[in-house]
Each structure stands twice: as structure tokens, then as C-alpha cells.
Amino acid sequence: MHIKTMAEFMAEGIQPEVLFWVGCAGSFDQRAQRITKAFAQILDKVGVSFAILGKEEMCTGDPARRSGNEFLFQMMAYNNIQLLNGYGIKKIVTACPHCFNIFKNEYPALGGEYEVIHHTTFINQLIADGKIIMKEGGAFKGKKITYHDSCYLGRANNIYEAPRAVLEAMDVELIEMKRCKTNGLCCGAGGAQMFKEDEPGNKRINIERTEEALATGATVIAANCPFCTTMLMDGVKNKEQEEHVQVLDIAEMVARSL
Amino acid sequence: MQIVQQILFVLLAAAAVFLFARKVREIRRNIKLGKDAGINDNPSARWRNVLLLAFGQKKMFKRMTPAILHFFVYAGFVIINIEILEIILDGIFGTHRLFAPYLGGLYNILIGCFEILAALVLVSCAIFLVRRNILKLKRLNQGELNGWPKTDANAILITEIVLMALLLTMNAADYNLQQMNVHHYYNTGGPFWVSGLIAPLLSGMGEGGLVALERTCWWLHIAGIFAFLNYLPYSKHLHIVLAFPNAYYAKLVPQGKMDNMKDIQNEVLYMMEPDKAPTDAAAAEPHRFGAKDVNDLSWKNLMDAYSCTECGRCTAVCPANITGKKLSPRKIMMDTRDRMEEMGRNIDQNKEFVDDGKSLLHDYISTEELRACTTCNACVEACPVSIDPLSIILQLRRNLVMEESNAPQEWNMMFGNIENNMAPWKFSPDDRDKWAQELAEA
Ligand code: SF4
Ligand code: SF4
């Protein structure tokens, strides 16, 4: 399977339907690369015409902005917007809620206006349009699944239902954690915490969240964010449950059910 | 005798209103220490928020028990105020139950409803006291509440209980006097619904005793109300007023959206496209990045601080606080208010603010607290009075990083990586599409 870059589309003189913004985690982090590949396979399979930016993609500046470094954020945003506008990008899909949030809410003020979709919403639309058809029963039919709302998709942007609708389409038995939807508990990675040690405390946030997820008795913890996925996997390992409980992005679950 | 009471009453009322007005001006001045926030778009959505969040207390209903109890106290407070109007008019004109003759049978029903509310307020406040002091709910007993905040909370609850008890006792004495056809005590035609139950206990007191009791309760009750009015501005209880404008000015855009810094946006633009830079040097006036002190924040941040009820709903859901970190969003709001009031006192003393060598950052809020925030928005979502603690945290962080270059080593490395490798980790930009190559080979 060959994934075309924007530069290749440009050379052919055609515009893809959508740009797949991979994000730094999805590009470099080994665990997150699996999510990226799964989503790319879904797009390929249903025949969506999509491009990536390839080596031209850059950090959106989210961790810089959230930690207080507005200069660096503005630099990154400037460069990204030049690039995206240069290619005439209209529509972006991304598997990272941090990238999603910053494109949707913060780039427009800087001259970067795009239709931005999170991959769980995109997948949900493909299911609704009958383009994604799960193989008989789906790989997770009847399985006990719990779903972790990421802060940047949930509270930050009020998207709670699309990912759940995808899980529903896979016929899973969804068991909600007590803290879910607007009350969902953070995985501990946001606000650039991912890139530093925790401040002194008596517990790590991902452990607190993982304990809650494990208490549901689910065999899969479904997530929608590469950072949450990493955090929760670390938590599951810490609790020595990795043989019984998987942490999977919704795209990975769908890819396995095709 | 009557005229003396009237004069005393008018003087008391005037003093209460005068003192309150002076304090209101001070609060207004303090809020305006903040920067302009340019919030005035979309009035219909804003009024909707006032209806839902302030009048309807939508967010309170995330926790049912306190929501219902609080609703009684709130409804009691608002509705019993109608009776206070009558009490004030009676005080001025020396009348007694001025509205009764005009309303006829309806009067008894109204007062009966007020009494039921008063009883509900009394019981609710008692339960609140138990939750605070005996059950010791965690969010009502955390460190930042030690000292004045705890005293404040209990003082309000006890005052409410006393006020309601006075009101009911007054009505009970009044009913007995009505039964005895005592002059001046207009016969409203029947016992009120709650005080009617206590009235028999007082029946043996005799006319003189009853009049004394009725007058004492009447005076203590209204004096208590005036005192309460003037206590409000010093207390977390100010939220009963400010929750309304605070809901109006609440953020309407998605919670995830951070405020843009236009000056830095332009600076970057002029750096990348020098031809766009303005030629007049005056545009490059020096300014402070982010917030170091309360006057660097917006006036909405400061109104937030005055609106905070110190309920701790934010802190109870804060992932950092839950896991034992120092950060507490409630404390962020309390610190902001304390510092703002300190700045206000400084201005009162010196006519204008004279540098006291202190600032919100460091002297009140530490770097450790600021660095613990995951920007998860749980505090913002939880707050029943539309407060945004995260906005303050992020502005202080900007000051830390951009003015003081005060970031943990790992963050500095992350900044370096973003700048040099276009990713927060130390990977080569050339490897960014390695996953795609792997897919192609698979
Ligand atoms: S945004 Fe920050 S302060 Fe607010 S709840 Fe989340 S971690 Fe705590
Ligand atoms: S900020 Fe809101 S939730 Fe937090 S203590 Fe104050 S009123 Fe309560």
C-alpha cells in the first residue's frame, strides 16, 4: 500500500479529498504508529482519497503553547499554515485530539481555516454512510469494552457520542467508568505533562485512571488519543494486567473488524 | 415610641445601604484592575447561560444531594426577600404587615409558603453544617480552607439558621397577639403554616412578653439581614450576586480554545515577513508576556475570583489534586482574590498602587502548582458559577516560561526538539513518514 504525499498529489495536479494529519506521536512513537497505520488502512480500504504531508509535516506547537511558550507555538503555527495554505488544504482529518483541537479552535485566528475532523468522527461517518462494513460480527462483538474520553476531544470539544457510536457499531458491550463523558478523568499527559516528570504527589494520574478502567472488568480499554493510549498502557503494565487487558485506539479496533 | 423605632430603622437602613454601596464601588474598582477582555458578543447565548447556569443552577445538579439542599437555600433566599420588602416598608412607615389588608386570604398563603421555605432553609443549612463539620467531606476540609475560609462558611450557615429561626418565632408571637386582638397586630385570619406549630408554646407569655418577643425578633431579623448584606462582600458568599454576571460573561467558545497572543503572533509575522512590519518604532513598546500579577489578568479572571464559592468542586475533580499534587484550582481562585484585595488595600492607602515587592506568581501561586496542571478542563467543567481557573494557570505559565525562562529541564529539551526537529522528541524529521514506508513494504 502506497500512501501519497501532498507533494505527489500536487505534481499530478489533483487534490485529495482529505489530508491525514498524522501528528508527532502518530509519526514517531512506536505504539502510536500502529494507530496511524490502522487508520491509513481503513482509509485505503474504503477508498477515501487522502494524502499525508510526509516529511513536511511539523509539530502543531500544542505542547509549546500549553506549557507557556507562545513564541515557539506561533513559529510552528506560522510555518504549518504557510504549508497547508500553500497546498490549498480544505479538509483535515487527524487521529490526535490535541492536533484536532488546535487546528479547529486556534489556527483560524492565525489565518489557518480548515474543516477539521477527528478520526473517530470520520470513522463514524464512514460507518453511517455504509462505507465501512464490519466483517461478520466484528472482532470485538460482545466483548466487554470500556471507553476513555480524552480531555481534548471530550470536555475541550464536546465530542462524546461519535466514538461511542463506533463502538456500538462493533456490537461491543460498553461498560462506562464512573468518571466518563464530561466528568472523565484525564490520563495525565495533557498540558505538556507528557514531556516531563510528574510534580511531587502520591500517585501518578495514569495509575488512578487505569485502576478505574480495570475495575470495570473490561478486556479492552478503548481510547481516541495516542497520548492516552501510551499513558493507559503504562498503567496496565504497572498493574501487570497486560496479558488480560489491551489498550486500543478505536481505529485499531475498527481495522481489526474489517 | 413608634416614631423612635421608625427613625432608628431609617437610620439603620441608610447606614447599611451606604456601607454596602461603598464596598460595591471598591469591588468594582478591584475587578477593573484587570485587563479589558472584550467580551460582549452573542448576547442571546449569554442570556441563555444566565438562565441555565445561574438561575437554573444547571451544574449544581451534577451532585444531587447538595444541589437540592442548595436549591432550597437559594429559593428561600430569593423568595423570602419579598417578605423583606414588607418588613422594610413596615419599618419605615411604622405599620404592621402592610400588605395583609390588600391581599386578604392570599396573604396567609404567601406567608405560609415563605415559612415552609424558611423551614427548608433552616434544615438545609443544618445539614450543610453537618456535612462540613461532622461528616467532614473532603472537598470542604482541604488545606486551603484552614482559618478564615472555614469560619466564613460556618458563619454564613449559622447566620442563616438564626435568621430563619427569628422569622418563625416572630410570626408565632405575632399569631398569638392577633388571637388576643392586640391593637396594631392586624388579624390576618389564621395561624401561618409553620409558626402555627410553635405558636401554642408561646401562648402563656401574656401580651407584654409577646410584644417584647415579637419586636425583638423583628429587630434582630432585619438588623441581621442588613449585617448580612454588609458581610457579603468580605465573604465567599458574594457569589449570590456575582454568579449572575459571571454566567453572562462565561466563555462561549469551546473550552479547549486558548486565548491567542496577538502581539507575539505579529512579532513572528514581522520576523518571517519583514515587509509587513510597521515602520514606526512606537509600535514596539515594551510589555509583559503572560501574567505575573492580578493586574495582568483580565477583569473576567478577577470577577471569577470574587465569584468563587470555595466549594471545591473544581479541586475534587482535578487529576493533579486527586493524585496528591500541590495544585488546587480552588486555591488558584482564592489566591487571586486575596492578592487582588491586597492590591486594593494598597491603592486605598497610597491613592495608587505602590510596588510592594509581591506578585500573584511566586508569592501566592508557586511554580510547582502551575506545572502540575494537565489543562484537562475538568475544573472549568465542574464549576457551578462559570469560573475558569485554567485561564489563570495558563497566563501565569506564559509569564514563567517567556519572562523568566523558568521551565523544567525536560520542557526546555522539548522546546529545543520542536525548534530543531519539528517534533517534541529527538527524532529526525526524515523519519516522520517511516511508518508509511513500512506500510508500503508490508
Ligand atoms: S485543568 Fe488543570 S487545574 Fe483544572 S482540573 Fe485539570 S489539571 Fe486541575
Ligand atoms: S472555582 Fe468554582 S468549583 Fe472551584 S471552588 Fe470556586 S466556585 Fe467552586
CB of B62 less than 8 A from some CB of A: yes
Look up residue A126 and give its amino acid: L
Is residue B440 included in any domain, yes or no? no
Domain count for chain B: 2
Q: Distance of CA B141 to CAs A130, B151, B160, B310, Å?
A: 54, 12, 21, 11
Residue B374 covered by a domain: yes
Task: Compute the distance between CA of residue A129 and CA of residue A117 in angstroms, rounded to an integer.
Answer: 16
Return residues 385-404 of B near A (CB < 8 Å).
Answer: 394, 397-402
- Inter-chain residue contact B375 with A28, CB threshold 8 Å: no
Q: Do the beta carbons of residue A108 and residue A115 sit within 8 Å?
A: no
Residue B311 Cβ < 6 Å to ligand 2 = yes
Using a 6 Å cutoff on CB, does residue B309 contact ligand 2? yes
Is residue B165 assigned to a domain?
yes
The verdict on a CB contact (< 8 Å) between B322 and A155 is: no
B435 class by beta-carbon count within 10 Å (0-12 exposed, 13-18 middle, 19+ buried): buried
Q: Which domain holds residue B176?
A: 2-31+63-248
Residue of B nearest to A100 (CA): B256
Q: Specify the pLDDT at position B332.
A: 98
Give me the residue label for grid cell 472537598: B139
Question: Percentage of chain B surpassing pLDDT 70?
Answer: 98
What DSSP character marks residue A223?
Answer: E
Kindly tell me if the per-residue pLDDT of A2 is higher than 70.
Answer: yes
Determine what percent of chain A is predicted with pLDDT higher than 90. 97
Cβ(B387) – ligand 2 distance below 6 Å: yes
Same domain for B106 and B205?
A: yes
Q: Which of B248, B273, B297 is the last residue of a domain?
A: B248
Q: Note whether B261 contacts A70, CB cutoff 8 Å.
A: yes
> Same domain, yes or no, for B214 and B291?
no
- Residue A136: pLDDT band (50, 70, 90) is confident
Q: If pLDDT is split at 50, 70 and 90, which confidence band does B341 have?
A: very high
Taking the Cβ of residue A135 and every Cβ of chain B, the question of whether any pair is shorter than 8 Å is answered with: no
Q: Binning pLDDT at 50, 70 and 90, where does residue B282 land? A: low
How far away, in angstroms, is B76 Cα from ligand 1 center?
33
State the pLDDT at residue A57. Answer: 98
Assess whether B77 and B208 both reside in one domain.
yes
Note the pLDDT of residue B186.
Answer: 87
What would the pLDDT profile of B147-176 be if each residue is shown by its tens digit?
A: 999 999 999 999 999 999 999 999 999 999
Which of A21-25, A109-113, B117-121, B280-284 is predicted least confidently? Answer: B280-284
B407-430 per-position pLDDT tens digit: 999 999 999 999 999 999 999 999
- The pLDDT score that the predictor gives to residue B285 is 62
- Average the pLDDT over B230-249 and give the result: 95
| Residue B377 Cβ < 6 Å to ligand 1 | yes
> Is B54 a member of any domain?
no
Binned at pLDDT 50, 70 and 90, residue B189 comes out as confident
Q: Shortest CA distance to B15 belongs to which of B229, B238, B239?
A: B229
Q: Which three cell numbers stand for residue B315?
A: 479541586
Q: Do A28 and B427 touch (CB under 8 A)?
A: yes
B422/B284 same-domain check: yes
B208 and B324 assigned to the same domain: no
Same domain as B286, residue B197: no
- Is B53 domain-assigned? no
How far B396 CA lies from chain A's nearest CA (Å)?
Answer: 8
Contact criterion met (CB below 8 Å) for B171 and B112 = no
Q: Quick: pLDDT tens for B17-62.
A: 999 999 999 999 999 999 998 888 999 999 999 999 999 999 999 9
User: With contacts defined as CB-CB under 8 Å, which chain B residues touch A83?
Assistant: none
User: Mean pLDDT in chain A?
Assistant: 97
Residues 6+ apart with CB under 8 A from A189: A206, A227, A228, A230, A231, B374
How far is residue A258's CA from residue A242's CA, in Å, rounded to a whole number? 24
Print burial letters for A205-217: b (CB count within 10 Å at least 16), e (below 16): bbbbbbebbbebe
Contacting residues of A for B404, CB less than 8 Å apart: none
Out of B248, B275, B290, pick the residue that ends a domain.
B248
Q: How far is the CA of B333 from the centre of ligand 2 (A)?
A: 8
Placement of cell 475541550 in the chain: A156
Name chain B contacts of A179, Cβ cutoff 8 Å. 317
Inter-chain touch A63–B399, beta carbons under 8 Å = no
| Res. B94 pLDDT band, cuts 50 70 90 | very high
Residue A135 has pLDDT above 90, yes or no: no
CB spacing of B401 vs A27 below 8 angstroms:
no
CATH of the domain at B158: 1.20.950
Say if the Cβ atoms of B381 and A155 lie within 8 Å: yes
Of the candidates A128, A127, A61, A121, the one whose C-alpha atom is nearest the C-alpha of residue A92 is A121
Q: Where in the sequence of chain A do the CATH 3.40.50.1860 domains occur?
A: 6-124
The mean pLDDT value for B276-288 works out to 72
Q: Indicate whether B7 and B79 sit together in one domain.
A: yes
Given a cut of 70, is residue A142 above it in pLDDT? yes
Q: Round to whole Å and give the CA distance between B357 and B336.
A: 16
Say yes or no to pLDDT of B286 above 80. Answer: no
**ipTM of this complex prediction, to 2 decimal places:** 0.96
Q: Do B425 and A24 touch (CB under 8 A)?
A: yes
Q: Which residues in chain A are contacts of B270 at CB distance < 8 A?
A: none
Question: Which DSSP letter does residue A104 get?
Answer: I
* Whether residue B79 has pLDDT greater than 90: no
pLDDT of residue B281: 60
State the amino acid at position B236 in one-letter form.
K
What is the structure's pLDDT at A170?
A: 94
For A19, the 3-state DSSP assignment is strand
Q: A202 in contact with B at a CB cutoff of 8 Å?
A: yes
Is B162 part of a structural domain of the chain? yes
The alpha carbon of residue B380 and the mean position of all alpha carbons in its chain are separated, in whole angstroms, by 14
**Quick check: is B267 in a domain?**
yes
CATH of domain A134-257: 3.40.50
* CA angle at B332 for the pair A200 and B125, rounded to the nearest 5°: 110
Choose the CATH number for A6-124 among 3.30.70.260, 1.20.1560.10, 3.40.50.1860, 1.10.3210.10.
Answer: 3.40.50.1860
Percent of chain B residues past pLDDT 90, beyond the cut? 88
Based on the fold, state whether residues B336 and B411 are members of the same structural domain. yes
Q: What is the pLDDT of residue B102?
A: 92
Which residues of B fall within a CB distance of 8 Å from A70? 261, 264, 289-290, 398, 402
Mean predicted lDDT score pLDDT of chain B: 94
Share of chain A above pLDDT 70, in %: 100
Q: Which residues contact A88 (CB under 8 A, 6 or more apart)?
A: A15
Quick check: A251 pLDDT over 90? Answer: yes
B50 CA distance to ligand 2 middle (Å): 17
- Is there a contact between A193 and B374 if contact means CB atoms under 8 Å apart? yes
Could you write out the three-class secondary structure of chain B?
A: CHHHHHHHHHHHHHHHHHHHHHHHHHHHHHHCCCECCCCCCCHHHHHHHHHHHHHCCHHHHHCHHHHHHHHHHHHHHHHHHHHHHHHHHHHHHCCCCCCHHHHCHHHHHHHHHHHHHHHHHHHHHHHHHHHHHCCCCHHHCCHHHCCHHHHHHHHHHHHHHHHHHHHHHHHHHHHHHHHCCCCCCCCCCCCCCCHHHHHHHHHHHHHHHHHHHHHHHHHHHHHHHHHHHHHHHHCHHHHHHHHHHHHHCCCCCCCCCCCCCHHHHHHHHHHHCHHHCCCCHHHHCCCCCCCCCHHHCEHHHHHHHHHCCCCCHHHHHCHHHHCCCCCCHHHHHHHHHHHHHHHHHHHHHHCCCCCCCCCHHHHHECHHHHHCCCCCCHHHHHCCCCCCHHHHHHHHHHHHHHHCCCCCHHHHHHHHHHHHHCCCCCCCHHHCCHHHHHHHHC
Residues B423 and B314 in one domain: yes
Within a domain: B187? yes
Interface-testing mutation among B62, B260, B269, B318, with chain A (most A C-beta atoms within 10 A):
B260
Same domain, B236 and B266: no
Query: Which of B213, B248, B283 marks a domain boundary?
Result: B248
Full-model pTM: 0.95
- Residue B186 sits in the same domain as residue B223: yes
User: How far away, in angstroms, is B390 Cα from ligand 1 center?
Assistant: 6
Residue to mutate (ligand 2; options B236, B241, B309; most atoms within 8 A of CB): B309
Neighboring chain B residues of A186 at a CB cutoff of 8 Å: 319, 374, 376, 378
B125 pLDDT exceeds 70? yes
Q: What is the pLDDT of residue A138?
A: 77
Question: Considering every ligand atom, which ligand is closest to the CA of B330?
Answer: 2
